Amino acid sequence: MDHFLYRDGQLFAEDVPVAEIAAAVGTPVYVYSTATLLRHYRLFDEALAWGPHLVCYAMKAASNQAILKTLAEAGAGMDVVSGGEYARAKAAGVPGDKIVFSGVGKTREEIRMALEGGVRQFNIESEPEMRAISEIATSMGVEVPVTVRVNPDVDAKTHAKIATGKSENKFGIPIAKARGVYAEAAALPGLKVVGIDVHIGSQLTELEPFALAYRKVAELTQALRAEGHEIVRLDLGGGLGIPYTRSNEAPPLPVEYGQLIERELGHLGCEIEIEPGRLIAGNAGILVSRVIYVKEGEGRNFLILDAAMNDLIRPAMYEAHHDIVPVVEPQPAAEQAPYDIVGPVCESGDTFAKGRMMPAVGEGELVAFRSAGAYGAVMSSEYNTRALIPEVLVKDDQFAVIRARPSFDEIINRDSLPAWL
Ligand SMILES: *Cc1c(COP(=O)(O)O)cnc(C)c1O
Protein backbone atom coordinates (compact mmCIF):
# COMPACT_ATOMS: atom_id res chain seq x y z
CA MET A 1 0.00 0.00 0.00
CA ASP A 2 1.19 3.45 -0.99
CA HIS A 3 1.24 6.09 1.74
CA PHE A 4 1.77 8.99 -0.71
CA LEU A 5 -1.68 9.37 -2.24
CA TYR A 6 -3.92 12.10 -3.57
CA ARG A 7 -6.75 12.96 -1.25
CA ASP A 8 -9.19 15.86 -1.69
CA GLY A 9 -7.24 17.00 -4.73
CA GLN A 10 -3.79 17.13 -3.18
CA LEU A 11 -0.89 14.84 -2.39
CA PHE A 12 -0.65 13.52 1.17
CA ALA A 13 2.15 11.82 3.04
CA GLU A 14 0.17 9.46 5.26
CA ASP A 15 -2.35 11.90 6.85
CA VAL A 16 -0.36 15.09 6.28
CA PRO A 17 -0.80 17.29 3.20
CA VAL A 18 2.59 17.54 1.46
CA ALA A 19 1.91 21.25 0.81
CA GLU A 20 1.67 21.82 4.56
CA ILE A 21 5.16 20.35 5.07
CA ALA A 22 6.55 22.43 2.20
CA ALA A 23 5.02 25.58 3.71
CA ALA A 24 6.42 24.85 7.17
CA VAL A 25 9.89 23.59 6.23
CA GLY A 26 10.52 25.09 2.80
CA THR A 27 11.64 23.35 -0.36
CA PRO A 28 13.34 21.27 -1.52
CA VAL A 29 12.66 18.72 1.22
CA TYR A 30 12.76 14.94 1.61
CA VAL A 31 9.64 13.48 3.22
CA TYR A 32 9.53 9.91 4.57
CA SER A 33 6.62 7.75 5.67
CA THR A 34 6.98 5.75 8.88
CA ALA A 35 4.21 3.36 7.82
CA THR A 36 5.99 2.51 4.57
CA LEU A 37 9.35 1.95 6.25
CA LEU A 38 7.80 -0.39 8.79
CA ARG A 39 5.67 -2.18 6.23
CA HIS A 40 8.67 -2.96 4.05
CA TYR A 41 10.76 -4.15 6.99
CA ARG A 42 7.94 -6.44 8.10
CA LEU A 43 7.43 -7.85 4.61
CA PHE A 44 11.00 -9.13 4.69
CA ASP A 45 10.72 -10.31 8.27
CA GLU A 46 7.58 -12.28 7.40
CA ALA A 47 9.09 -13.62 4.16
CA LEU A 48 11.80 -15.31 6.22
CA ALA A 49 9.54 -16.43 9.06
CA TRP A 50 10.06 -20.08 7.98
CA GLY A 51 13.37 -20.14 9.84
CA PRO A 52 15.80 -18.25 12.07
CA HIS A 53 16.74 -14.96 10.43
CA LEU A 54 17.69 -11.34 10.88
CA VAL A 55 16.82 -8.51 8.50
CA CYS A 56 19.76 -6.12 8.60
CA TYR A 57 18.74 -2.84 7.00
CA ALA A 58 21.49 -1.62 4.62
CA MET A 59 21.58 1.83 6.10
CA LYS A 60 23.59 3.38 3.31
CA ALA A 61 20.22 3.72 1.49
CA ALA A 62 18.94 6.29 4.00
CA SER A 63 20.70 6.73 7.29
CA ASN A 64 18.97 9.48 9.22
CA GLN A 65 18.87 8.66 12.94
CA ALA A 66 15.07 8.80 13.00
CA ILE A 67 14.82 6.26 10.18
CA LEU A 68 17.30 3.94 11.89
CA LYS A 69 15.50 4.20 15.21
CA THR A 70 12.13 3.53 13.58
CA LEU A 71 13.47 0.32 12.04
CA ALA A 72 15.58 -0.72 15.02
CA GLU A 73 12.60 -0.45 17.35
CA ALA A 74 10.71 -2.79 15.01
CA GLY A 75 13.52 -5.33 15.41
CA ALA A 76 15.80 -4.66 12.44
CA GLY A 77 19.53 -5.18 12.57
CA MET A 78 21.82 -2.94 10.53
CA ASP A 79 24.28 -3.55 7.73
CA VAL A 80 27.01 -0.90 7.88
CA VAL A 81 29.81 -0.15 5.43
CA SER A 82 31.87 2.47 7.28
CA GLY A 83 32.88 3.62 10.73
CA GLY A 84 30.50 6.54 10.36
CA GLU A 85 27.59 4.22 9.69
CA TYR A 86 28.64 2.03 12.60
CA ALA A 87 28.59 5.10 14.86
CA ARG A 88 25.18 6.09 13.50
CA ALA A 89 23.76 2.63 14.15
CA LYS A 90 25.06 2.64 17.72
CA ALA A 91 23.75 6.18 18.28
CA ALA A 92 20.31 4.99 17.15
CA GLY A 93 20.42 2.35 19.87
CA VAL A 94 21.19 -0.70 17.74
CA PRO A 95 23.07 -3.26 19.85
CA GLY A 96 26.44 -4.39 18.50
CA ASP A 97 25.23 -7.97 18.10
CA LYS A 98 22.73 -6.77 15.49
CA ILE A 99 25.26 -4.83 13.42
CA VAL A 100 26.86 -6.55 10.43
CA PHE A 101 29.99 -4.82 9.13
CA SER A 102 30.32 -5.02 5.34
CA GLY A 103 32.43 -2.98 2.93
CA VAL A 104 35.37 -3.49 0.60
CA GLY A 105 38.05 -1.72 2.57
CA LYS A 106 37.53 -1.55 6.30
CA THR A 107 40.31 0.52 7.84
CA ARG A 108 42.13 -0.60 10.97
CA GLU A 109 40.44 2.24 12.88
CA GLU A 110 37.01 1.05 11.73
CA ILE A 111 37.81 -2.55 12.68
CA ARG A 112 38.99 -1.50 16.14
CA MET A 113 35.94 0.69 16.64
CA ALA A 114 33.55 -2.16 15.86
CA LEU A 115 35.45 -4.62 18.03
CA GLU A 116 35.29 -2.19 20.94
CA GLY A 117 31.59 -1.43 20.50
CA GLY A 118 30.54 -4.95 19.58
CA VAL A 119 29.68 -6.40 16.19
CA ARG A 120 27.58 -9.32 15.00
CA GLN A 121 30.10 -10.24 12.31
CA PHE A 122 32.57 -8.85 9.83
CA ASN A 123 31.95 -9.77 6.22
CA ILE A 124 35.52 -10.17 5.00
CA GLU A 125 36.20 -8.91 1.48
CA SER A 126 39.88 -9.75 0.95
CA GLU A 127 42.74 -11.74 2.40
CA PRO A 128 44.70 -8.70 3.63
CA GLU A 129 41.57 -7.43 5.36
CA MET A 130 41.09 -10.84 6.98
CA ARG A 131 44.65 -10.72 8.34
CA ALA A 132 44.14 -7.20 9.66
CA ILE A 133 40.96 -8.20 11.50
CA SER A 134 42.74 -11.23 12.98
CA GLU A 135 45.66 -9.12 14.12
CA ILE A 136 43.52 -6.43 15.77
CA ALA A 137 41.11 -8.88 17.40
CA THR A 138 44.03 -10.89 18.77
CA SER A 139 45.72 -7.78 20.15
CA MET A 140 42.46 -6.93 21.91
CA GLY A 141 42.08 -10.48 23.22
CA VAL A 142 38.77 -11.11 21.48
CA GLU A 143 37.42 -13.54 18.91
CA VAL A 144 35.04 -12.08 16.34
CA PRO A 145 32.53 -13.91 14.15
CA VAL A 146 33.33 -13.60 10.43
CA THR A 147 31.98 -14.60 7.07
CA VAL A 148 33.81 -14.33 3.78
CA ARG A 149 32.05 -12.42 1.04
CA VAL A 150 32.26 -14.58 -2.03
CA ASN A 151 31.91 -13.26 -5.54
CA PRO A 152 29.78 -15.85 -7.38
CA ASP A 153 30.42 -14.41 -10.87
CA VAL A 154 26.73 -13.95 -11.58
CA ASP A 155 25.27 -11.26 -13.82
CA ALA A 156 22.77 -9.31 -11.71
CA LYS A 157 21.26 -7.78 -14.90
CA THR A 158 21.16 -4.33 -13.38
CA HIS A 159 22.86 -0.97 -14.07
CA ALA A 160 26.64 -1.44 -14.43
CA LYS A 161 27.35 0.98 -11.57
CA ILE A 162 25.39 -1.13 -9.09
CA ALA A 163 26.31 -4.66 -10.24
CA THR A 164 28.72 -6.24 -7.74
CA GLY A 165 28.65 -9.98 -8.32
CA LYS A 166 30.69 -10.42 -11.51
CA SER A 167 34.32 -11.44 -11.37
CA GLU A 168 35.34 -8.08 -12.87
CA ASN A 169 33.81 -6.23 -9.89
CA LYS A 170 35.96 -5.23 -6.92
CA PHE A 171 33.75 -7.03 -4.41
CA GLY A 172 34.40 -10.20 -2.45
CA ILE A 173 36.64 -13.18 -3.06
CA PRO A 174 36.25 -15.28 -6.22
CA ILE A 175 34.15 -18.24 -5.19
CA ALA A 176 36.71 -20.63 -6.70
CA LYS A 177 39.30 -19.32 -4.23
CA ALA A 178 36.96 -19.44 -1.25
CA ARG A 179 38.02 -22.80 0.21
CA GLY A 180 41.62 -21.70 0.54
CA VAL A 181 40.58 -18.45 2.20
CA TYR A 182 38.33 -20.29 4.65
CA ALA A 183 41.20 -22.62 5.52
CA GLU A 184 43.36 -19.63 6.34
CA ALA A 185 40.54 -17.92 8.28
CA ALA A 186 40.03 -21.01 10.42
CA ALA A 187 43.74 -21.11 11.22
CA LEU A 188 44.03 -17.42 12.11
CA PRO A 189 43.61 -16.38 15.75
CA GLY A 190 40.88 -13.93 16.72
CA LEU A 191 38.48 -15.06 13.98
CA LYS A 192 35.53 -17.39 14.31
CA VAL A 193 34.21 -18.53 10.95
CA VAL A 194 30.41 -18.61 11.14
CA GLY A 195 29.16 -18.43 7.60
CA ILE A 196 29.20 -17.16 4.04
CA ASP A 197 28.26 -13.74 2.65
CA VAL A 198 27.17 -12.79 -0.85
CA HIS A 199 25.72 -9.60 -2.38
CA ILE A 200 25.46 -9.43 -6.15
CA GLY A 201 24.07 -5.97 -6.82
CA SER A 202 21.26 -3.51 -6.40
CA GLN A 203 17.91 -2.87 -8.11
CA LEU A 204 17.55 -6.48 -9.27
CA THR A 205 14.23 -6.88 -11.03
CA GLU A 206 14.37 -10.66 -11.51
CA LEU A 207 14.88 -13.55 -9.12
CA GLU A 208 17.01 -15.65 -11.47
CA PRO A 209 20.39 -14.03 -10.60
CA PHE A 210 19.68 -14.53 -6.89
CA ALA A 211 18.84 -18.19 -7.55
CA LEU A 212 22.10 -18.72 -9.47
CA ALA A 213 24.15 -17.07 -6.72
CA TYR A 214 22.40 -18.85 -3.86
CA ARG A 215 22.82 -22.24 -5.55
CA LYS A 216 26.57 -21.59 -5.57
CA VAL A 217 26.39 -20.60 -1.91
CA ALA A 218 24.59 -23.87 -1.11
CA GLU A 219 27.31 -25.89 -2.86
CA LEU A 220 30.01 -23.94 -1.07
CA THR A 221 28.29 -24.51 2.28
CA GLN A 222 28.41 -28.29 1.73
CA ALA A 223 32.02 -28.16 0.57
CA LEU A 224 33.13 -26.06 3.55
CA ARG A 225 31.27 -28.25 6.01
CA ALA A 226 32.94 -31.30 4.53
CA GLU A 227 36.24 -29.63 5.31
CA GLY A 228 35.22 -29.15 8.93
CA HIS A 229 34.04 -25.52 8.94
CA GLU A 230 31.02 -24.65 10.98
CA ILE A 231 28.76 -22.80 8.56
CA VAL A 232 25.72 -21.72 10.57
CA ARG A 233 24.91 -18.32 9.09
CA LEU A 234 24.29 -17.22 5.50
CA ASP A 235 24.28 -13.51 4.73
CA LEU A 236 22.55 -13.12 1.38
CA GLY A 237 23.02 -9.39 0.88
CA GLY A 238 20.42 -6.96 -0.40
CA GLY A 239 19.50 -5.91 -3.88
CA LEU A 240 15.83 -6.63 -4.42
CA GLY A 241 14.56 -3.91 -6.78
CA ILE A 242 11.61 -1.57 -6.49
CA PRO A 243 9.16 -0.23 -9.07
CA TYR A 244 10.29 3.26 -10.09
CA THR A 245 7.39 3.70 -12.47
CA ARG A 246 3.77 3.09 -11.80
CA SER A 247 3.07 1.22 -14.99
CA ASN A 248 5.31 -1.36 -16.58
CA GLU A 249 7.69 -2.61 -13.90
CA ALA A 250 6.80 -5.28 -11.38
CA PRO A 251 9.89 -6.58 -9.59
CA PRO A 252 9.48 -9.73 -7.48
CA LEU A 253 7.92 -9.29 -4.06
CA PRO A 254 9.74 -9.93 -0.77
CA VAL A 255 7.49 -12.95 -0.17
CA GLU A 256 8.63 -14.52 -3.47
CA TYR A 257 12.22 -13.71 -2.58
CA GLY A 258 11.76 -15.40 0.80
CA GLN A 259 10.34 -18.49 -0.88
CA LEU A 260 13.31 -18.60 -3.23
CA ILE A 261 15.70 -18.47 -0.29
CA GLU A 262 13.83 -21.27 1.45
CA ARG A 263 13.89 -23.38 -1.71
CA GLU A 264 17.60 -22.90 -2.42
CA LEU A 265 19.00 -22.77 1.10
CA GLY A 266 16.35 -23.80 3.62
CA HIS A 267 17.60 -27.40 3.80
CA LEU A 268 20.97 -26.25 5.15
CA GLY A 269 19.55 -25.25 8.52
CA CYS A 270 21.45 -21.97 8.65
CA GLU A 271 20.36 -18.70 10.17
CA ILE A 272 19.57 -16.38 7.26
CA GLU A 273 20.59 -12.73 7.17
CA ILE A 274 19.52 -10.34 4.43
CA GLU A 275 20.59 -6.74 3.89
CA PRO A 276 17.85 -4.90 2.02
CA GLY A 277 18.25 -1.14 1.67
CA ARG A 278 16.48 0.19 -1.38
CA LEU A 279 13.32 -1.84 -0.94
CA ILE A 280 12.87 -0.64 2.63
CA ALA A 281 13.56 3.05 2.06
CA GLY A 282 13.05 3.74 -1.66
CA ASN A 283 9.30 4.03 -1.85
CA ALA A 284 9.14 5.34 1.71
CA GLY A 285 10.42 8.74 0.62
CA ILE A 286 9.62 11.56 -1.79
CA LEU A 287 11.54 14.67 -2.72
CA VAL A 288 9.33 17.76 -2.78
CA SER A 289 10.44 20.66 -4.93
CA ARG A 290 9.05 23.96 -6.14
CA VAL A 291 8.99 25.19 -9.72
CA ILE A 292 11.13 28.31 -9.90
CA TYR A 293 10.44 29.14 -13.55
CA VAL A 294 8.88 27.64 -16.62
CA LYS A 295 11.15 28.56 -19.51
CA GLU A 296 10.10 28.25 -23.11
CA GLY A 297 12.99 26.85 -25.09
CA GLU A 298 13.59 25.95 -28.72
CA GLY A 299 10.93 23.29 -29.36
CA ARG A 300 10.75 22.35 -25.71
CA ASN A 301 9.80 23.76 -22.36
CA PHE A 302 12.00 23.62 -19.29
CA LEU A 303 10.63 23.16 -15.83
CA ILE A 304 13.30 24.72 -13.63
CA LEU A 305 13.04 23.35 -10.10
CA ASP A 306 14.61 24.40 -6.82
CA ALA A 307 15.91 20.81 -6.41
CA ALA A 308 19.05 19.88 -8.30
CA MET A 309 21.49 17.07 -8.97
CA ASN A 310 23.26 17.77 -5.68
CA ASP A 311 20.01 16.91 -3.85
CA LEU A 312 19.15 13.81 -5.90
CA ILE A 313 21.97 12.49 -8.03
CA ARG A 314 20.39 9.25 -9.24
CA PRO A 315 19.21 10.56 -12.63
CA ALA A 316 22.65 12.06 -13.39
CA MET A 317 24.59 9.10 -12.04
CA TYR A 318 22.55 6.07 -13.10
CA GLU A 319 20.20 7.51 -15.76
CA ALA A 320 17.58 6.69 -13.15
CA HIS A 321 13.91 7.41 -13.69
CA HIS A 322 11.77 9.03 -11.00
CA ASP A 323 8.08 9.68 -11.49
CA ILE A 324 7.54 13.40 -10.94
CA VAL A 325 3.99 14.42 -10.06
CA PRO A 326 2.28 17.69 -9.25
CA VAL A 327 1.36 18.06 -5.58
CA VAL A 328 -2.02 19.48 -6.60
CA GLU A 329 -3.84 16.60 -8.23
CA PRO A 330 -4.30 17.18 -11.96
CA GLN A 331 -7.77 16.79 -13.44
CA PRO A 332 -8.13 13.35 -15.08
CA ALA A 333 -8.65 15.04 -18.46
CA ALA A 334 -5.83 17.57 -17.98
CA GLU A 335 -3.76 18.03 -21.11
CA GLN A 336 -0.17 16.86 -20.91
CA ALA A 337 2.87 18.46 -22.51
CA PRO A 338 6.54 17.43 -22.68
CA TYR A 339 8.93 19.13 -20.30
CA ASP A 340 12.64 18.92 -19.68
CA ILE A 341 12.75 18.92 -15.90
CA VAL A 342 15.97 20.45 -14.63
CA GLY A 343 17.66 21.95 -11.59
CA PRO A 344 19.55 25.25 -11.35
CA VAL A 345 23.08 23.77 -11.09
CA CYS A 346 25.61 24.75 -13.75
CA GLU A 347 25.90 21.36 -15.42
CA SER A 348 23.90 19.91 -18.28
CA GLY A 349 23.86 16.70 -16.26
CA ASP A 350 21.57 18.52 -13.83
CA THR A 351 18.57 17.16 -15.71
CA PHE A 352 16.00 14.99 -13.99
CA ALA A 353 13.98 14.08 -17.06
CA LYS A 354 13.82 14.92 -20.76
CA GLY A 355 10.60 15.27 -22.70
CA ARG A 356 8.61 14.09 -19.71
CA MET A 357 4.87 14.29 -20.29
CA MET A 358 3.33 16.33 -17.48
CA PRO A 359 0.09 18.18 -16.90
CA ALA A 360 0.77 21.94 -16.92
CA VAL A 361 2.52 23.09 -13.76
CA GLY A 362 3.22 26.75 -13.23
CA GLU A 363 5.74 28.91 -11.47
CA GLY A 364 5.63 28.50 -7.70
CA GLU A 365 3.82 25.17 -7.80
CA LEU A 366 5.04 22.05 -6.01
CA VAL A 367 6.07 18.74 -7.53
CA ALA A 368 7.08 15.48 -5.86
CA PHE A 369 9.69 12.98 -7.01
CA ARG A 370 8.43 9.55 -6.09
CA SER A 371 10.63 6.66 -4.92
CA ALA A 372 13.34 9.03 -3.71
CA GLY A 373 13.79 7.59 -0.23
CA ALA A 374 16.80 5.39 -1.01
CA TYR A 375 20.15 6.73 -2.25
CA GLY A 376 18.64 10.22 -2.25
CA ALA A 377 19.45 12.33 0.80
CA VAL A 378 22.49 10.19 1.63
CA MET A 379 24.13 10.92 -1.73
CA SER A 380 23.46 14.64 -1.64
CA SER A 381 26.20 17.23 -1.55
CA GLU A 382 26.60 20.97 -1.16
CA TYR A 383 27.79 21.49 -4.72
CA ASN A 384 27.18 25.10 -5.81
CA THR A 385 27.00 25.88 -2.06
CA ARG A 386 23.46 24.65 -2.00
CA ALA A 387 22.57 23.65 1.54
CA LEU A 388 21.86 19.98 2.26
CA ILE A 389 18.11 19.85 2.17
CA PRO A 390 16.00 19.05 5.20
CA GLU A 391 14.49 15.66 5.93
CA VAL A 392 11.04 15.23 7.44
CA LEU A 393 9.49 12.08 8.91
CA VAL A 394 5.73 11.63 8.89
CA LYS A 395 3.82 9.35 11.22
CA ASP A 396 0.05 9.32 10.78
CA ASP A 397 -1.03 12.96 11.12
CA GLN A 398 2.24 14.18 12.63
CA PHE A 399 5.46 15.27 11.02
CA ALA A 400 8.85 16.24 12.38
CA VAL A 401 11.99 17.73 10.90
CA ILE A 402 14.62 15.00 11.34
CA ARG A 403 17.43 16.97 9.73
CA ALA A 404 17.29 20.74 9.55
CA ARG A 405 18.47 22.83 6.64
CA PRO A 406 21.78 24.44 7.62
CA SER A 407 22.15 28.20 7.32
CA PHE A 408 24.73 29.67 4.95
CA ASP A 409 26.76 30.75 8.00
CA GLU A 410 26.83 27.16 9.27
CA ILE A 411 28.05 25.97 5.90
CA ILE A 412 30.70 28.67 5.54
CA ASN A 413 31.91 28.36 9.12
CA ARG A 414 32.88 24.74 8.56
CA ASP A 415 35.77 26.11 6.50
CA SER A 416 38.73 27.50 8.37
CA LEU A 417 41.45 29.83 7.20
CA PRO A 418 45.16 29.11 7.43
CA ALA A 419 47.28 31.46 9.54
CA TRP A 420 48.72 33.23 6.49
CA LEU A 421 45.34 34.53 5.35
C1 LIG B 1 24.37 -1.66 -1.07
C2 LIG B 1 24.43 -2.92 -0.32
C3 LIG B 1 23.26 -3.49 0.16
C4 LIG B 1 21.89 -2.93 -0.11
O5 LIG B 1 21.49 -3.02 -1.43
P6 LIG B 1 20.00 -2.60 -1.82
O7 LIG B 1 19.96 -2.73 -3.29
O8 LIG B 1 19.81 -1.20 -1.38
O9 LIG B 1 19.08 -3.54 -1.15
C10 LIG B 1 23.38 -4.63 0.93
N11 LIG B 1 24.58 -5.19 1.20
C12 LIG B 1 25.72 -4.67 0.74
C13 LIG B 1 27.01 -5.32 1.08
C14 LIG B 1 25.69 -3.51 -0.03
O15 LIG B 1 26.84 -3.00 -0.50
- pLDDT per position as a tens digit, 134-154: 999 999 999 999 999 999 999
Q: Taking the model in full, what pTM does it have?
A: 0.96
Report how far residue 421's alpha carbon sits from residue 62's, in angstroms, rounded to the nearest whole number: 39
Candidate from 79, 122, 151 with most ligand 1 atoms within 8 A of CB, to mutate: 79
Q: What is the pLDDT of residues 235-266, one digit of tens each?
A: 999 999 999 987 666 899 999 999 999 999 99
> Ligand 1 atom closest to Cα of 279?
9
Report how far residue 69's alpha carbon sits from residue 30's, in angstroms, rounded to the nearest whole number: 18
Which sign, positive or negative, has the C-alpha torsion 42, 44, 50, 54?
negative
Strand 271-274 to strand 233-235: parallel, antiparallel, or no bridges (unpaired)? parallel
Cβ of 275 less than 6 Å from ligand 1: yes
**pLDDT at position 167:** 78
**pLDDT at position 41:** 98
**pLDDT at position 376:** 98
The alpha carbon of 286 and the centre of ligand 1 are apart by a number of angstroms equal to 20
Among 215, 211, 197, which residue's Cα sits nearest to residue 156? Answer: 211
Burial 192-221 (b: 16+ CB within 10 A, else e): ebbbbbbbbbbbbbebebbebbbebbbebb
Cβ of 306 less than 6 Å from ligand 1: no
> What is the maximum span of the chain, computed from C-alpha positions, in angstroms?
70
**pLDDT at position 135:** 98
Query: What are the strands, taking DSSP E only, across 205-251?
Result: 233-235
Cβ of 202 less than 6 Å from ligand 1: yes
Domains and CATH numbers, the chain: 4-31+282-412 (2.40.37.10), 33-279 (3.20.20.10)
**pLDDT at position 247:** 65
Residues serving a catalytic function are 346
Q: How far apart are the first and last CA of the chain?
A: 57
Report how far residue 238's alpha carbon sits from residue 56's, in angstroms, rounded to the nearest whole number: 9
The alpha carbon of 66 and the centre of ligand 1 are apart by a number of angstroms equal to 20
The alpha carbon of 357 and the centre of ligand 1 are apart by a number of angstroms equal to 32
Q: Report in angstroms the alpha-carbon separations of 267 from 33, 182, 218.
A: 37, 22, 9
> Ligand 1 atom closest to Cα of 275?
10
The alpha carbon of 176 and the centre of ligand 1 are apart by a number of angstroms equal to 23
Report how far residue 285's alpha carbon sits from residue 280's, in angstroms, rounded to the nearest whole number: 10
Whose alpha carbon is nearest atom 10 of ligand 1? 238
> Ligand 1 atom closest to Cα of 375?
8
Cβ of 289 less than 6 Å from ligand 1: no
In contact, 114 and 172? CB cutoff 8 Å: no
Cβ of 47 less than 6 Å from ligand 1: no
Query: Strand, helix or coil at 120?
Result: coil
Cβ of 199 less than 6 Å from ligand 1: yes
Query: Strand, helix or coil at 95?
Result: coil
Candidate from 54, 67, 164, 275 with most ligand 1 atoms within 8 A of CB, to mutate: 275
Report how far residue 325's alpha carbon sits from residue 332's, in angstroms, rounded to the nearest whole number: 13
Whose alpha carbon is nearest atom 3 of ligand 1? 238
Q: Give pLDDT < 50 ranges for the chain.
A: none
The alpha carbon of 82 and the centre of ligand 1 are apart by a number of angstroms equal to 13
Cβ of 276 less than 6 Å from ligand 1: yes
Cβ of 40 less than 6 Å from ligand 1: no
Cβ of 237 less than 6 Å from ligand 1: yes
Q: Report in angstroms the alpha-carbon separations of 115 from 38, 119, 144, 267, 382.
A: 29, 6, 8, 32, 33
